[in-house]
Structure 1
Amino acid sequence: MELRRSRAIVPVIDFLAEAGSTNDVVVARAAELPDLAVVVTDNQTGGRGRLGRVWVSPPGTAIAVSVLVKPSGLPVPSYGWFPLIAGLAMSRALNPLVPGEVEVKWPNDVLIDGDKVCGILTELLPDLSGLVIGSGVNLTQTRDELPTETSTSLLVAGAQDIDVDAVLSSYLTHLTTLYREFQTAGGDPVTSAIRDEVAEACHTIGRSVRVLLPAGDDLLGTAIGIDEDGRLLVESDAGITAVAAGDVTHLRY
């Protein structure tokens, strides 16, 4: 796959005919690859999401994209913003392609009219020198090929003339722009306006949510914002809880 527009944006793009996990490929090659190097495939056989979930789609119907980020000078705690930055970038890339509403679900999903079209998994490099931002985007799956009733694809959502290079190049353009703004601000989400931009795009804020916390407890309440560390603020009977990690369900009642 030529990916001409995408190759003009980043220093390296390696398109693989098949990969177990593009994140694993990037992690293994991180020492030799530059900042913003990209590995992509339309046939990922061992993809995974948060909490050990498996991500599988018929070959040629989705893309898996992993971007290596080596944010020199940024404090490691600021890395927690990268899933949200990637989600914002992907939402901006997909928004012009479909008639429906494209939004970010905290912390790592992109939705079209409430259904998941993209999942994001970021992983720290073992030496903490950077991280890998992995994204899986459903492109041309039919309704019967989607894994859940709350999943969608660009095709199902009404996109016309779906072009891999157009989707990828738009995502990489938005991602690199947001990354540079964040880096210029020294990883400050307020100075860079990243927090405000993410909050504006975040479908979770203002909704009733159930959060399954890492310890196994359920937190029921209303998502009211995102703090300076990228944590979701949930207001419940117990007060306001800052959630750094958890499985969020949007409640529909």
Structure 2
Amino acid sequence: MTAPGRDARDRLPRTCAAADTVLWFAAVDSTNTVAHRMLADGTWPAGGANRAGAARRDGTAARGGAAAPPAPPMAVVVADEQTAGRGRLGRQWVSRPGESSMVSYATVLPARIATDPQVNGWLQMTAGLATLDALRGACRDAGAAVLHGGPCGMALKWPNDVFCHDHKLGGILAELVALPPAAGGPDAPGWSPGGAFDGPPIGVVFGVGLNLGIPADRLPTPLSTSLQLHRGPLPEPDAMRDMIAARTAASLRARLVAFIADPREAARRAHEETRAVCWTLGRRVEARLAEGGTVRGEALELNPDASLTVLADDGARHIVHTGDVGVL
């Protein structure tokens, strides 16, 4: 494990400018595990932002005027290699240096939002939308064009995959983390970045793994793909990862500000935006439910609470809140 410090600034200058704290490791068990531990043991956040020009967290407008929603803090954990990377439902995320982007984004949100079943399903989807923002923007900045002259639309597969050209480009894992009292847990009411949250906070970690430069003959599954197979030319891996991570951190933070300001309206907008890029809708699927059992049928609708309606082969409608959905 490489100690963070100047290496992070040298390798990830854009990300360091976009986030409050950036940690880089040559190898680590899991970036999500590191981020989880930072929140759970109270080592972060500590005393606010540590980067110049950080977004204001006290709810005041930067140049006077009406109060602005509080901007949540953002820490980014990056690793060249993970030895125990994990995805949803206990799956392992396999990676090699220079081939994948393994980045976790840690933040703190009002617990009332993160635990509200009417809106909290959109937090993971919001991370997916921020990832699409970042991929499109980074490719545009790099001058990376669509290869092979075919369509190369990027989309989200419910509930947590990033798709490119009908194949899996990456995945997202969202986790909630209870904060200790010293860092704003339930025994420390009123704490928040700048004191702006109305109620106790909770930690949230978004782990985003993306295939950037995996050769076609070493893709982990027949349904997987890698960005360099569809867009090019791309910068060298460290630079591309930095471009994507910086844009993801900025987009994610802006989207979370909207959730803090008006959770119901932010959820409505996320619903509308995700429906437009949801690769799953209209396809025949098998939903493997977290509580056990499977449902086969058509993915019919993305619902206002971020659940999925599946029209089963027997004509029954099932609402899937969590689980795994494979396309048949």
- TM-score (normalizing by structure 1): 0.91
**Secondary structure at the residue paired with 1:42?**
strand
Shift of the alpha carbon at 1:10?
Answer: 1.5
In structure 2, the residue matched to 1:46 is 84
Shift of the alpha carbon at 1:46?
Answer: 0.9
**Secondary structure at the residue paired with 2:297?**
strand
In structure 1, the residue matched to 2:305 is 229
Question: Which sections of structure 2, spanning at least 5 residues, go unmatched?
Answer: 1-7, 46-72, 140-144, 147-151, 180-200
Give identity over the alignment, percent.
34
CA RMSD of aligned residues (A): 1.9
2:243 is the alignment partner of 1:166:
yes
**Would you say the 8 A contact 2:259–2:267 is kept in 1?**
no
**Secondary structure at the residue paired with 1:47?**
coil
User: Which amino acid is 2:115 matched to?
Assistant: V
User: Which amino acid is 2:256 matched to?
Assistant: Y
User: Which amino acid is 1:214 matched to?
Assistant: A
In structure 2, the residue matched to 1:133 is 206
Shift of the alpha carbon at 1:155?
Answer: 1.4
Pairing partner for 2:176 from 124, 144, 157? 124
In structure 1, the residue matched to 2:69 is none
Bigger relative CO (Cα 8 Å, ≥ 6 apart)? 2
In structure 1, the residue matched to 2:29 is 20
Distance 2:284 2:327 in 1: 6
Choose 194-203 or 119-128, whichever is displaced more: 119-128
Pairing partner for 2:44 from 33, 37, 62? 33
Aligned length: 250
User: Which amino acid is 2:242 matched to?
Assistant: D
Shift of the alpha carbon at 1:71?
Answer: 0.9
Distance 1:159 1:181 in 2: 33
In structure 2, the residue matched to 1:76 is 115
**Secondary structure at the residue paired with 1:71?**
strand
Question: Which sections of structure 1, spanning at least 5 residues, go unmatched?
Answer: none
Shift of the alpha carbon at 1:69?
Answer: 2.3
2:164 is the alignment partner of 1:112:
yes
1:163-200 per-residue CA deviation (whole Å, 9 max, x = no partner) reads: 22112122222212222222221355445x11111111
- Which has the greater radius of gyration? 2
**Would you say the 8 A contact 1:74–1:187 is kept in 2?**
no
Shift of the alpha carbon at 1:116?
Answer: 0.9
Distance 1:63 1:104 in 2: 17
Distance 2:133 2:316 in 1: 33
**Would you say the 8 A contact 2:74–2:249 is kept in 1?**
no
